[in-house]
Amino acid sequence: MNKRFIIAAILSLILFTFTNCVVNRLPETDCTQAQNIVKSFYSWHFDDDFVFNRKSIEGKASFFTPEFNALLKRELDREADFKKQSPDEVPFISGDVFTDSQEYPTSFRVGNCKTSGENDASIDVSLLWKLQNGYDQKELKVVTKKQNDKWLIDDVLSSQDNAQESLKATLSREQYRK
């Protein structure tokens, strides 16, 4: 019995050492990196109470491509100008731009990743709302781009009437009101 114990202990030690070395050396895939950025962003966004203002966007800027970040800031400037001219009217964007919802979801789940080329990946994100009898769910696609060896969010696509609606396209519109 002592020989079996010693052999089992040695084999366990060898297996543990080999497994630990292999696991520590595995490179993180591009999809995993992109998914981690999206997960980190939405975790922060949920903790930040879904705020869409200048301070919040500046705090989250490290998650966005420069172009997407500039469009978000431009939207805030346009909204501020609109509120000065029409203080009693609802701004063009009401609700949360990153969940495309008036009602804030209770949780999210980062799903599959699909790469297209070396520097582009889209990540599935499921948003969940707790209801009395279960959950309501909505699917988004978060478009990411790799810039300077870092994955950044470049767009959020939501499904509207069987079509994909791009947040970037909405932010790029010429007139404040459509």
**Identity of the amino acid at 4:** R
Look-up of token digits 């980062």: 110
pLDDT score of 115 more than 70: yes
Q: Which residues contact 128 (CB under 8 A, 6 or more apart)?
A: 105, 106, 107, 108, 109, 135, 136, 137
Share above pLDDT 90 across residues of the chain, in percent, rounded to a whole number: 67
- Catalogue all structural domains in the chain, each as residue range(s) with its CATH number: 30-171 (3.10.450.50)
Whole-angstrom Cα distance, residue 25 to residue 43?
27
pLDDT score of 145 more than 90: yes
Q: For residue range 48-94, what is the model confidence (pLDDT) as tens digits?
A: 889 889 999 999 999 999 999 999 999 999 999 999 999 999 888 88
- Residue 176 or residue 21, greater confidence: 176
- Does the reported pTM lie above 0.85? no
